[in-house]
Amino acid sequence: MPTKLISFDEALRISGDKKHLLLGNGFSISWKPDTFRYDSLYDRANFKNLNPDIKKVFEKLKTKDFELVMKSLVNAAGVLKVYLPARKRLIAELEQDAVELKNLLVTTIASNHPENPSEISENEYFLANSFLNHFQNIYTLNYDLLLYWVIMHYNQENDKIKYDDGFRTPDNGKSQYVTWDIEKTNTQNIFIYMELFTYLTRVLSFKNTLG
């Protein structure tokens, strides 16, 4: 039987008091589809420094989804380790191609990323905040800075912090960096995979060099 989709309001009504959110690329696409849709990113990406076979994989799979192709490359390497373990060079090439494709995705997002938080209107901030406030904990898989811009926008305007990613001012006082201490995360409600945090940092650094 086909899956019946319910409305967002209905989902909120039946989900109980504690609601949690897993953010994917749709959060970014809903704001600026011409920047964050995979087909837009694919058309703007510069593949010239990558293995030409990577683009052939996109064509073979009939997709412009970077994540799907990265997963396919990693899975192919895993299968080869079972069936043809002696093909170490090919296995390493597939794994490296997956890494380079992820780097290309991050670079492409960074180069087409909005320049600064002021490009988001006050009404758009309000709508994003209204949506996020339905949830107790927020988990993100995105490579862009939009969620952090919403967090900063409201944390700066209000004495009461609504969003908390667990990073704190170091114990020795204000610095140019923040730290994450598991003993000080009792109020944390924003969660991001550390690998993605590394890529977000690269996006921010890339935008700073452009500015």
- From 45-49, 69-73, 107-111, the region with the lowest mean pLDDT: 107-111
CA-wise closest residue to 41 among 100, 122, 106: 106
Q: Is the pLDDT score of 210 beyond 60?
A: no
pLDDT higher at 210 or 159: 159
pLDDT higher at 137 or 175: 137
Tokens matching residue 199:
């890529």
| Under 8 Å between Cβ of 181 and 168 | yes
Give the separation between CA 118 and CA 153, rounded to whole angstroms: 10
| Under 8 Å between Cβ of 165 and 188 | yes
Q: What is the pTM of this model?
A: 0.74
Q: Is the pLDDT score of 157 beyond 80?
A: no
Domain positions in the chain are 8-32+115-210, 40-112
H or E element: which one contains 22? strand 20-23
pLDDT higher at 117 or 193: 117
Q: What is the pLDDT of residue 160?
A: 59
Structure confidence by residue, pLDDT tens digits, 167-193: 888 888 787 777 888 888 888 999 887
Residues forming a β-bridge with 168:
179
Candidate ranges 80-84, 106-110, 131-135, 194-198; pick with highest mean pLDDT: 80-84
